[in-house]
Structure 1
Amino acid sequence: MSDDAAEPLRLLIVDDHTVVRAGLRALLEGEPGFEVVGETGDGTDAVRLVARLRPDVVLMDLRLTDPGTPSPAGADSVDGIDGIEATRRILATTPGVRVVVLTSHGRTADVLRAVEAGARGYVLKAGPPEELFRAVRAAAAGGMALAPEAAASVLGHAAEPGPALTDREVEVVRLLAQGHSNRAIASTLFLAEATIKTHLVRIYRKLGTENRAATVSEAVRRGLIELA
């Protein structure tokens, strides 16, 4: 992320329809402070392009075309990696990049999957351009920006009652977020590695998650921890 406020935000567009990409490029390049540095309709190619181009923000379509189905008119052939998986891989391989999901869908499950994958924004294609611009700038600054429909989904999910984490479990999640292994967490907290594994099983159950990345995302979403 550039420290120079005068530098434009570098953007990469990922959408499997060439017409949509062309429209987004024209829209974004017409907004002061934005520079589109690349585009693709392929999930795996997006991961490679991010590593090579180092954009500040990736605009990610949620539903990329499955390779086993005919591509709709105007769509590029893609490899089957959807926007969620592409987001996970990008954030795992190129730290510092932000992802904003741009999609036609606002279903609660889709919003939560995107947030759990690490997306910093969720914007509907049918929304006003200003909403997209705000989301890009917020994500680049390290914030979170959700379309009103998406925010309502997240807030509704967060309002659901669930078991609270203990102070020790929060410590474990905070160390998870810092990238520590089970052994390193055990050493830091002066506990046995087996004890850490037990804590993780309980944390996964309480947060309704299945892996470390999703657990960190859910903890952040619930306000249990903050990412640096």
Structure 2
Amino acid sequence: MIRVMLADDEALIRAGVRAILAGEPSIEVVAEAADGREAVEQARLHRPDVALLDIRMPVMDGLEAIAEIRRTVPSTATVVLTTFSEDEYIARALDGGAGGFVLKTGDPRELIAGVRAVAEGGAYLSPRVARRVITHFRGGHVTRGAAARDQLAVLTERERDVLRLVGEGLSNAEIAARLHLVEGTVKAHVSAILARLGLRNRVQAALLAYQAEIL
């Protein structure tokens, strides 16, 4: 069972998201919050597998809440609920450690896919968000690509294999099956990759893999 904490200052949005998640027997909403500070409190209290947060909330915004949840409840993965007009926040959310981005205006299946992906140790970007991120990184592509490839020089061949599959959006279990490894070994490789490259999460790792053109 994937336990989810939902935070949004609009009651109608919370009700809609809760209804979508309720349709999945393997997902349970265990807590809700109407602002960022309450979201942090609920995450500390319930320790959900996934915290699903809006960006624009009173008292403490979603980006601040994500950073605080990562600091105090590191076992909880975070997914940003965003609208298309808020894509300027994506870089900040990546830096803050968000593991996924789901559009409120997108297909409900994206919400389910995002929650499942981050709960399983993966990362998720709604397709339209992914296109915006990729478009952003295409600016100065040659220079960034060379820098990214240089950055990957510290990785072993096996770590590069793991990073490539992280970039494809695979979970630890899926990577283990693909590379014929045990899941614990994959988890150790991912942790080593993030530490060696100075990255906060799998989304940043996936973007670096894209820049380095190893996918």
1:158 positional shift: 2.4
What letter matches 2:53 in structure 1? M
Identify which range, 44-53 or 103-112, moves more after superposition: 103-112
Going from structure 1 to structure 2, the CA distance change for 1:215 and 1:33 (only over 3 Å counts) comes to closer
Going from structure 1 to structure 2, the CA distance change for 1:59 and 1:158 (only over 3 Å counts) comes to same
Task: Could you list the structure 1 runs, at least 4 aligned residues long, displaced by more than 6 angstroms after superposition.
Answer: 212-217
1:43 positional shift: 0.7
Going from structure 1 to structure 2, the CA distance change for 1:95 and 1:215 (only over 3 Å counts) comes to closer
Going from structure 1 to structure 2, the CA distance change for 1:170 and 1:62 (only over 3 Å counts) comes to farther
Given the two structures, how large is their TM-score scaled by the length of structure 1? 0.64
What letter matches 1:39 in structure 2? E
Kept in 1: contact 2:5–2:31 (CA 8 A): yes
Given the two structures, how large is their TM-score scaled by the length of structure 2? 0.68
What letter matches 2:123 in structure 1? M
1:220 positional shift: 5.7
RMSD across aligned positions (CA): 3.0
Count how many residue pairs are aligned between Structure 1 and Structure 2. Answer: 171
Task: Report the structure number with the largest CA radius of gyration.
Answer: 1
Among 21, 24, 27, the residue aligned to 1:31 = 24
1:37 positional shift: 0.2
What is residue 121 of structure 2 aligned with on the other side?
142
What letter matches 1:159 in structure 2? R
Kept in 2: contact 1:56–1:98 (CA 8 A): yes
What is residue 58 of structure 1 aligned with on the other side?
51
Residue by residue over 1:123-176, the C-alpha shift from the partner in whole angstroms, topping out at 9 and shown as x without a partner, is 1111111111011101111111111111011112222334516559968xx989
What is residue 20 of structure 1 aligned with on the other side?
13
Kept in 2: contact 1:106–1:150 (CA 8 A): no
Going from structure 1 to structure 2, the CA distance change for 1:54 and 1:170 (only over 3 Å counts) comes to same
Residue 152 (1) aligns with residue 152 (2): no
Going from structure 1 to structure 2, the CA distance change for 1:37 and 1:31 (only over 3 Å counts) comes to same
What is residue 91 of structure 1 aligned with on the other side?
70
Structure 1: distance between partners of 2:204 and 2:117: 20
Indicate the structure with greater helix content. 2
Kept in 2: contact 1:58–1:100 (CA 8 A): yes
Among 88, 91, 110, the residue aligned to 1:112 = 91
Structure 2: distance between partners of 1:109 and 1:118: 16
Aligned pairs for 1:73-222 within 5 A: 79=59, 81-161=60-140, 162=143, 164=147, 166=150, 177-178=194-195, 218=204, 221-222=207-208
Structure 1: runs of 5+ lacking an equivalent: 1-7, 66-78, 179-184, 186-202, 204-211
Residue by residue over 1:42-77, the C-alpha shift from the partner in whole angstroms, topping out at 9 and shown as x without a partner, is 211211211110101111101113xxxxxxxxxxxx
Structure 2: distance between partners of 1:53 and 1:216: 24
Structure 1: distance between partners of 2:38 and 2:25: 27
Going from structure 1 to structure 2, the CA distance change for 1:28 and 1:167 (only over 3 Å counts) comes to closer
Kept in 1: contact 2:66–2:78 (CA 8 A): yes
Kept in 2: contact 1:117–1:217 (CA 8 A): no
